[in-house]
Structure 1
Amino acid sequence: MTKVDIAIYQRNKVVTRDEDLVLVEPEHGLRFRRKGVFFINILQESLMKKMSYNEIREIYLDYMKQHDHSFIPSASLVPDNDPTVLYVNAGMFPLVPFLMGESHPNGTRLANSQRCIRTIDIDEVGDISHLTSFEMLGNWSLNDYFKKEAIELTVDLFVNRYGFDINNIYASVFEGNENSPEDDVSIQVWKEIFRSYGIEASAGPGERIQKLGMDENWWELAGGGPCGPCSEIFYDTGKELCSDKCDVSCSCGKYIELGNNVFMEYLKEGESYKPLGRFNVDFGGGLDRLAMISQQAESVWETDKYLPILKKVKELSQVEVVESERIIIDHLKAASWIVMDGVIPGRTEREYILRRLIRRAIRHGRNLGMTKSFVGEIVDICIDQFMDIYPQLDEDREKIVEVIVSEETKFNETIEKGLHEFERWFDKTFEGKKEYIFDNSDGFTFSMYETFGFPLEMSLEELKNRNVRFDEAQVRENHLREYEKHQEKSRTATKGLFKGGLADTSEESKKLHTATHLLLQALYRVVGSHVFQKGSNITPERLRLDFPNDTKLTPEQIQKVEDLVNEQIDKKLPVSFVEMSKDEAMKLVQYAAFEDRYGEIVKVYTIGTADDPYSIEICNGPHVDNTSELRRFKIIKQENVGAGIKRIKAILE
């Protein structure tokens, strides 16, 4: 059947020019039947509703609820008590214990929309679809349904609820290797789905179902754990193939990944794989990309949430550089989300990523001719655009803008230092020489970039201003060489930090986690009832706790806190938990940070007896069974980490 076969489509009434066609109404959507074969309704382009960012999320969550999934709130970008991950980078991150077999209080079918930061993609930002900050729509089956129902749910959602054209849908599956066979189950499921829409699909190179290897279609946690093959779903944008090797994994923009079903049926231990004994599903779909397809936009940057921000960037720009415009939007949006979750720019790990995002945005602002302060205005628009989803952005607006603008001021001062350093280098390098020739063989431009945030383009401009002769291609090649060496070092140093992974559940970390609860209660009693947890981080060596307080603790207060914690250790208090509704739990606890992260059913940990509890907190664990397992508690450092926020680091001696 072709578009000519349909004369009218209006309010479920279809008039055709082919008397052999019969309109049928299956469970989802309208289809035509001829000789027992189903055909998707044509004129898909005109039937596809252009949905807003918020509508797409709402439809998704309603759809999952109709299929018996319980909603769980978005977690903070900053993982609680997990040193293995700098930022939450996937919707599944808070669910790792339940994927391993722990019973989830909300059941075996879950769904949410999770804020994510994925800095591994930072160098891809600037194209049509990559972001470092995004929302991931996710649903999970914890040993409930598996491949067939998971893929069918995804296709039904995309085609019959979002209205995406099935003729533009492509799939990838795992091709198999020595650890796991080809995923023939998923291949068969996809073939049956396509056939139900009148499409005879084959599996192979360039086909509608494409087989890919471990790099593309296998998922596992850093360091081992549950893992398995995945099946991705793509949308053909209609662009020409970039080459005869172009497939769904190509980054040319012809195919846009809409989502990915991960089938966790294996357990990786060391370098070996064995059956997990459970059949979990983890689906993730990028909300920004879904909006791009739904709104038929050229890129995610032309969708409803981003257009007002893009307009402001263009207003402040002197020239047009599309890549720089997109990087500024992405990085400052990411920065506003991160600052909202309590992080401030700094020199180590999580804080350094925030600093890098802000400074990279500023450098690209210079590419657009923005020589004056500009980040505050753009951050304001970012907050305006996302505060309907995340009200805390507006509540913390003043703090967020202040932190990011302060970093801009510091960076501009650093740039000035860089100009002075450039002048010093120039005088030293070319002193007494008649000709100024430069090849960048020593990686000078990258050194300026790394130390002073000097973009390569600024170094080239300064060289030209001083009449230095150079081959720009050679200079860029040597700059790229140094950059790639630096990237390799960074990948090695942070291996396992960006993929996500299991929270550290070693015995030492369990002890320090329990000690964190003891510390928080001690601070509440000694410092005041305004104390609550703003953030925490635990390694096997020490604990770190952030809490609101205007001044640092006095030596006397520190001693009182230490004594109170050690007193509970000496009392050999039991540690236990019960599951209850969030409303019930909120009546029991004295403080509950991050209330919006909790599902309807939560764990409540008690240190002490039911008749005489020392501490009662909402927490996912894990903890020791008794405080007698802890050694002597000692505070080793306290510091300021922002306006009205103090940080304590402590150990068990």
Structure 2
Amino acid sequence: MNTDDTVRTFLDFYRERGHEPITGSTLLPPPSDPVLFTTSGMHPLTPYLQGRPHPQGRRLVDVQRCLRTTDLDEVGDPTHLTVFEMLGSWSLGDYDHPQSLRWGYELLRDGFGIPREKLYVTVFGGDEQLGPDLESLHSWWELGLPVESTRHENWWSNGPTGPCGPDSEIFFWTGDGPPEGRPTIDSRWVEIWNHVHMRYERGEDGELVPLRQVNVDTGMGLERFVSVLQGCRSVYETDLFEPWMRLVPPLWDLDELSVRVVCDHLRSSVVVLGDGVRPSNTGRGYVLRRLVRRLLTVLRRDDPSRSLGDLPGELVEHTLDHFRQSLGVDAVKDVLMDEELRFGRLLERGRRVLSRPEFRGLLSEEDFRYLHDTHGLPRDLVDGLKGQ
């Protein structure tokens, strides 16, 4: 099942059960939102989870593009991406959490053909404030799935305050041979879907207050789920990354980790550009500039002559088409090339600064702060220049 088939199967399943598809999957949150980018599928729905009526009803389904910079250091492993998509479904004060769990299992079993023995679930086992999520525990037992109880691992929130609640995480066995162990002790169990019983709001004082309505919020990372369905070792082996992994390695001689980082950061930069952001020294533009400079740092580590001018237009076009963005290939490449020129000038300035006697040895945290704040040299770039 390729990526398009996966999305279609998910959306059709929930449409048949009365869920309205919602649009507006841009990375950019509403102007009133202080967050730079949408970080999760539920993020744009926060007001409606808190009780505001949604214009399309109380059952919703969506494919939401997201961007997270908190995982940048993890990018290059089998599952983490900077820009990714979330398949999500919601009940805004409509059906209960057990119904969501039953539908979730039905979709995995019948829609995607995943056998029961390949699944394991975890549920909230209680903490200092709340007791265990017995409702979910009993629902999974009735469905015949093995269950493990945890504490903080099965509590979901989008930050220190706001809507939150206990969740059920569904794991898929990716190891060779029959499944063994359990999710908290064996990394071959990979999380594929999270069902959140979003019924509380945490205030500034840390106290939990019941929401005006009890919601269900589910989220499934598309790229990770597709890798599971296609039996791939990583998201980079799926059809979604096929043109990237076919064209980039012959273009630039890089090790596997570097290829993944370059592909992720380039792809993510194209998506951010497609959503209207341009490089700058502040806000969203700085996130984009940081991505481009990180990928250039990796790309030129062993060969300073490597250039984004060699990037095949097919890769840019493939990404823009997948994310349904109208920006042209030439416009994307023009911005990337301009950033490459700026990066070259930054490198020259960085080498001059780092050649000073006070920066020739090991650098302190104060040195890194000075180099960043005074000369615009981010730490990863300084580390790269020091290593040359």
Whole-Å Cα distance in 1 between the matches of residues 302 and 95 of structure 2? Answer: 51
The residue that corresponds to 2:95 in the other structure is: 145
Whole-Å Cα distance in 2 between the matches of residues 96 and 346 of structure 1? Answer: 29
Whole-Å Cα distance in 1 between the matches of residues 348 and 176 of structure 2? Answer: 45
Q: 2:316 corresponds to which letter in structure 1?
A: I
Aligned partner of 1:237 among 166, 170, 174:
174
**Secondary structure of the equivalent of 2:300?**
helix
Aligned partner of 1:357 among 291, 301, 309:
291
Structure 2 matches for 1:53-64, cutoff 5 A?
53-64=3-14
Aligned partner of 1:388 among 321, 326, 346:
321
Aligned partner of 1:296 among 224, 231, 242:
231
Structure 2 matches for 1:450-599, cutoff 5 A?
451=377, 454=381, 456-461=383-388
The residue that corresponds to 1:65 in the other structure is: 15
State whether residues 39 and 68 of structure 2, in contact with CA within 8 Å, keep that contact through their aligned partners in structure 1. yes
Whole-Å Cα distance in 1 between the matches of residues 301 and 24 of structure 2? Answer: 35
State whether residues 362 and 375 of structure 1, in contact with CA within 8 Å, keep that contact through their aligned partners in structure 2. no
Whole-Å Cα distance in 2 between the matches of residues 85 and 442 of structure 1? Answer: 27
**Secondary structure of the equivalent of 1:392?**
coil
Aligned partner of 1:108 among 39, 52, 58:
58
1:477-507 Cα offsets, whole Å, 9 max, x none, are xxxxxxxxxxxxxxxxxxxxxxxxxxxxxxx
Shift of 1:124: 1.0
Shift of 1:444: 5.9
Whole-Å Cα distance in 1 between the matches of residues 359 and 364 of structure 2? Answer: 13
Q: 2:271 corresponds to which letter in structure 1?
A: W
State whether residues 316 and 370 of structure 1, in contact with CA within 8 Å, keep that contact through their aligned partners in structure 2. no
The residue that corresponds to 2:120 in the other structure is: 170
Shift of 1:142: 0.7
- Segment of structure 1 superposing worse, 369-378 or 150-159: 369-378
1:342 and 2:342 matched: no
Shift of 1:176: 0.8
State whether residues 270 and 320 of structure 2, in contact with CA within 8 Å, keep that contact through their aligned partners in structure 1. no
Shift of 1:136: 0.5
State whether residues 332 and 382 of structure 1, in contact with CA within 8 Å, keep that contact through their aligned partners in structure 2. no
1:222 and 2:159 matched: yes
Aligned partner of 1:89 among 25, 35, 39:
39
**Secondary structure of the equivalent of 2:209?**
strand
1:278 and 2:213 matched: yes
TM-score of the superposition, structure 2-length normalised? 0.90
Structure 2 matches for 1:146-161, cutoff 5 A?
146-161=96-111
Shift of 1:338: 1.0
Whole-Å Cα distance in 1 between the matches of residues 45 and 362 of structure 2? Answer: 51
Whole-Å Cα distance in 2 between the matches of residues 423 and 272 of structure 1? Answer: 53
1:414 and 2:346 matched: yes
**Secondary structure of the equivalent of 2:170?**
strand
- Mind listing any 5+ residue stretches in structure 1 that lack a counterpart? 1-50, 195-200, 202-207, 431-437, 462-653
The residue that corresponds to 2:257 in the other structure is: 323
Shift of 1:113: 0.5
1:209 and 2:147 matched: yes
Higher-Rg member (1/2): 1
The residue that corresponds to 2:331 in the other structure is: 399
The residue that corresponds to 2:195 in the other structure is: 261
Shift of 1:399: 2.1
Shift of 1:447: 6.9
State whether residues 172 and 233 of structure 1, in contact with CA within 8 Å, keep that contact through their aligned partners in structure 2. yes
Whole-Å Cα distance in 1 between the matches of residues 156 and 173 of structure 2? Answer: 24
- Segment of structure 1 superposing worse, 179-188 or 231-240: 231-240
1:246-304 Cα offsets, whole Å, 9 max, x none, are 85357x85222211111111222232112224210111101101110111111000101
Shift of 1:77: 0.9
**Secondary structure of the equivalent of 1:179?**
coil
**Secondary structure of the equivalent of 1:110?**
strand
- Mind listing any 5+ residue stretches in structure 2 that lack a counterpart? none
State whether residues 193 and 218 of structure 2, in contact with CA within 8 Å, keep that contact through their aligned partners in structure 1. yes
Whole-Å Cα distance in 1 between the matches of residues 364 and 115 of structure 2? Answer: 52
How much is the aligned-residue C-alpha RMSD, in angstroms? 2.6
Change beyond 3 A, Cα 1:147–1:357: same
Q: 2:306 corresponds to which letter in structure 1?
A: K
Q: 1:459 corresponds to which letter in structure 2?
A: K
Whole-Å Cα distance in 2 between the matches of residues 213 and 267 of structure 1? Answer: 18
Change beyond 3 A, Cα 1:115–1:370: farther
Q: 2:35 corresponds to which letter in structure 1?
A: V
**Secondary structure of the equivalent of 1:81?**
coil
State whether residues 252 and 306 of structure 2, in contact with CA within 8 Å, keep that contact through their aligned partners in structure 1. no
Whole-Å Cα distance in 2 between the matches of residues 333 and 358 of structure 1? Answer: 10
TM-score of the superposition, structure 1-length normalised? 0.55
1:107-138 Cα offsets, whole Å, 9 max, x none, are 11100101110111111111000111011001
State whether residues 324 and 367 of structure 1, in contact with CA within 8 Å, keep that contact through their aligned partners in structure 2. no
Structure 2 matches for 1:10-25, cutoff 5 A?
none
The residue that corresponds to 2:356 in the other structure is: 424
Whole-Å Cα distance in 2 between the matches of residues 442 and 124 of structure 1? Answer: 22
Q: 2:62 corresponds to which letter in structure 1?
A: N
**Secondary structure of the equivalent of 1:413?**
helix
Whole-Å Cα distance in 2 between the matches of residues 382 and 165 of structure 1? Answer: 35
Shift of 1:386: 3.0
Structure 2 matches for 1:23-38, cutoff 5 A?
none
Q: 1:390 corresponds to which letter in structure 2?
A: F
**Secondary structure of the equivalent of 1:325?**
helix
Aligned partner of 2:249 among 314, 318, 324:
314
Q: Paired residues, what number?
A: 381
